[in-house]
Amino acid sequence: MKIGIICTSFHKEEMEKMLHYATEESISNGFEIAVLKWVPGVMEIPLTIDRMITENNLEGIVTLGIIEEGETQHGLVMGHVVINSIINLQLEYNIPIGLGIIGPGAKKEHIAPRLESHSRAAVNAIYRMIN
């Protein structure tokens, strides 16, 4: 089963760890990671999902990112818009999309403990939806 993974470049060190956990979980579920894309931030995830689906024969996509708490509501608004877009793409294309985005509003001390669980959960979500 071929899947794609999208990682955000922001929070690079944490994203490398998330990708590692998602890759391990993908292998244990029998997935082949056919496409891996790095994007600047979570706002670029929906467009990348659309392109991945139309350009590749994928059975699911995993999204990995972090939306940290900020001084304004920007991250919260962005998180709502991105997650809504991901849901709409999932329904439009009938392809499961695993949401491995920590936040919105994640505090620095809450990010590290969630890296593994969010990554693995996103992979397992598409595995369950496919099977």
Residue 67 belongs to a domain: yes
Number of domains in the chain: 1
- Backbone φ and ψ of 74, nearest 5°: -55, -50
pLDDT tens digit string along 23-67? 999 999 999 999 999 999 999 999 999 999 999 999 999 999 999
Q: Establish if 25 belongs to a structural domain.
A: yes
- In-domain check, residue 38: yes
Residue 108 neighbours by CB under 8 Å, 6+ apart: 68
> What pTM value is reported for the model?
0.95
Is 52 inside a domain boundary? yes
Tens digits of residue pLDDT in 65-86: 999 987 888 888 889 999 999 9
Cβ pair 74, 81 in contact under 8 A: no
pLDDT at 88: 97
Decide if 131 is inside a domain: no
The answer to whether residue 107 is domain-embedded is yes
What residues make up the domain containing 74? 2-126
- Residue 70 in tokens: 């900020």
CATH of the domain at 30: 3.40.50.960
Residue 40 located in a structural domain: yes
